Structure 1
Amino acid sequence: MSKIESRPSRGKLGTYIFFIDIEGHMIDPDVKDALTMVKRKTTFYKFLGSYPRAEID
């Protein structure tokens, strides 16, 4: 995990939404296991995408 960010939910007071950045490809077994665990532990899960890392010359 390279980043975690929390924001208050617009719904119920005291609930939060978390955004998590993970380095690695979603078919990598470790990443796949981590995403599966996140899905099991949350009430709402949305995968926003997989993007290549930018290379700076």
Structure 2
Amino acid sequence: MSESTDYTSRTLVNTLPEGPYLVFATYPGDESLGLGGTLALASQADISIGIVFVG
């Protein structure tokens, strides 16, 4: 492996996609485990979020 590593090339997403977001989860808590970080960032960016629990 080389001494210098370009960490910016490993970034998957630089910005959040425009909302609103709609999340489907089978059990309460699944939305947090799968998308918790994304939903927190979306909330801070005033993006509307809806969560539907199915099951």
Please state which structure has a larger fraction of its residues in helix.
2
TM-score using structure 2 length: 0.31
